[in-house]
Amino acid sequence: MREIENLQLNAQGQLQHFLSIEGLDKALLTEILDTAESFAGISSQNVKKVPLLRGKTIVNLFFENSTRTRATFELAATRLSADILSMNIATSATSKGESLLDTIHNIEAMQVDMFVVRHSLSGAAHFIAQHVAPHVSVINAGDGQHEHPTQAMLDMFTIRRVKKQFTGLRVAIVGDILHSRVARSQIQALNKLGAEEVRVIAPKTLLPTDVESLGVSVYYDMEAGLKDVDVVIMLRLQKERMSSALLPSESEYFKCYGLSEDKLKLAHKDAVVMHPGPINRGVEISSKVADGTQSLILQQVSNGIAVRMAVLSMTMQHRRESI
Ligand code: NCD
């Protein structure tokens, strides 16, 4: 997808929009991780603020519900001293029949600098990026079943902090791959950053038909798939995206694909457990594992702020250098 590649980067190869992991190379992904590392300490300071984006206005445009993503974008913007406006689209003009582009152009007329967009349609953020003024940046906070690039980058940041490097790492992504924009972004990021092997573990009904072409090894059996992995990423069953019954029952699903303490023992003894949230205890993960010593789930949430600060500041950087 050359078009997305060109749209994300300016003529100097800097990040102008952040729409997908597709189209970005290892150097740029590493720059995001390194920039996030430089912001990580700010959240533990007494005064949790730097003046980097003072005077900039960021608009959170969430057409779909979100807790973690929306809150961490708000905190990231606040900690960079930007002004942030979070729009509740369910109660806004689009529900009165206004088109998406009219909504965007009206908010743009308020001299904003950036849109952070979550939408149930794949390609929504890309579409908005094609239609905003050249100085406005667009960040994809999850589009349909397509990509969720800031989630993937905060997951990469969390993995790198604990495992130090990607070389030699075996990572298993378990569960509803079919409906997961998170998995699509993670698989690309892990492959670009040099992971040894990315496995997907799921029943056939929850895997896209062309899944191997994403660069993964496929396992239908959780016991076999977890053997010797260093990182286990669990995914929620995205029931809101399932048009028909793809599973027998939640308890049956947990027996076959849920992460229990016993199943986790099959992974490497230093393996870490991750989940983008929201978690469904007893459906894809047991409480003992979710709250256990190998779980990084809450660290992922904290790291989301530093990674989103990195992406906000890098996309604003293109403006300073191109003006
Ligand atoms: C994910 C999402 O919305 O795609 N959650 C998130 O951003 N933290 C995954 C999910 O909803 O299961």
CB atoms within 10 A of CB 302: 15
> Please, what is the Cα angle at 323 between 110 and 35, to 5 degrees?
90
Backbone angles phi, psi at 272, to 5 degrees: -110, 155
Over the stretch 100-137, which tens digit does the pLDDT of each residue have?
A: 899 999 999 999 999 999 999 999 999 999 999 999 99
Is 204 catalytic? The answer is no
Position 274 scores a pLDDT of 98
Is 151 a residue whose pLDDT tops 70? yes
Per-chain mean pLDDT for the chain: 93
In three-state secondary structure terms, 238 is coil
Instruction: Say yes or no to pLDDT of 172 above 70.
Output: yes
- For residue 2, the Cα-to-chain-centroid distance in whole angstroms is 21
* Annotated catalytic residue 118: yes
Beta bridge partners of 170: 197
Q: Is 148 in the pocket of ligand 1 (CB under 6 A)?
A: yes
Q: How far is CA 274 from CA 61, 130, 158, 179, 249, in A?
A: 27, 34, 9, 18, 23
Q: At what angle do helices 26-40 and 181-193 cross, to 10 degrees?
A: 100
For residue 1, what pLDDT is reported?
47
Could you report the per-residue pLDDT of 302-316, keeping only the tens digit for each? Answer: 999 999 999 999 999
Cα–Cα–Cα angle for 158, 306, 151, rounded to 5 degrees = 55
Whether 323 shows a pLDDT value over 60: the answer reads no
Give me the amino acid identity at 34: D
Which of 69, 72, 103, 158 is flagged as catalytic? 69
Residue 78 makes CB contacts below 8 A (sequence gap 6+) with 49, 84
- Which of 70, 143, 151 should be mutated for ligand 1, with most atoms under 8 A from CB? 151
Report CA torsion sign: 34, 39, 44, 45: positive
Q: Which residues sit opposite 61 in a β-bridge? A: 87, 117
Q: What percent of the chain has pLDDT over 70?
A: 93
* Rounded distance from Cα 16 to ligand 1 centre (Å): 24
Is residue 122 within 8 Å of 180, Cβ to Cβ?
no
- What architecture does CATH give domain 4-147+304-322? 3-Layer(aba) Sandwich (3.40)
Q: Give CA–CA dist 24/16, Å, rounded.
A: 12
Quickly state the pLDDT bin for 240 (edges 50, 70, 90). confident
| Mutation to probe ligand 1, out of 20, 68, 69 (largest number of atoms < 8 A from CB) | 69
Q: Residue ranges per domain, the chain?
A: 4-147+304-322, 149-301
- What's the pLDDT tens digit per position in 11-56? 899 999 999 999 999 999 999 999 999 999 998 889 999 999 999 9
82: nearest Cα among 315, 321, 323: 315
CATH number for region 149-301: 3.40.50.1370
Instruction: Report the amino acid identity of residue 221.
Output: D
- Tell me which of 181 and 93 has the higher pLDDT: 181
In the predicted model, is pLDDT for residue 81 greater than 50? Answer: yes
Q: Give long-range contacts, CB 8 A cutoff, 24+ apart: 241-250.
A: 241/145, 241/179, 242/179, 246/178, 246/203, 246/205, 246/206, 247/203, 247/205, 247/206, 250/282, 250/283
To which H or E segment does residue 201 belong? strand 197-201
Dihedral Cα 202, 204, 210, 212, nearest 10 deg: 50
Q: Where are the beta strands (DSSP E) in 26-181?
A: 57-62, 83-88, 114-119, 137-143, 170-174
263: confidence class by pLDDT, cuts 50, 70, 90 = very high
Q: Determine if the peptide bond prior to 149 is cis (ω within 30°).
A: no
Q: One fold for both 4-147+304-322 and 149-301?
A: yes
Backbone angles phi, psi at 273, to 5 degrees: -115, 130
Q: Does position 2 have pLDDT exceeding 50, yes or no?
A: no
With a 6 Å cutoff on the Cβ, whether 142 touches ligand 1 is yes
Q: How confident is the model at residue 94 (pLDDT cuts 50, 70, 90)?
A: low
**In residues, how long is the chain?**
323
- Which pLDDT score is estimated for 247? 75
Q: Report the predicted TM-score, pTM, of the whole model to 2 decimal places.
A: 0.95
Range with the poorest average pLDDT among 11-20, 69-78, 152-161, 234-243? 234-243
What pLDDT sits at residue 228? 96
Share of the chain above pLDDT 90, in %: 84
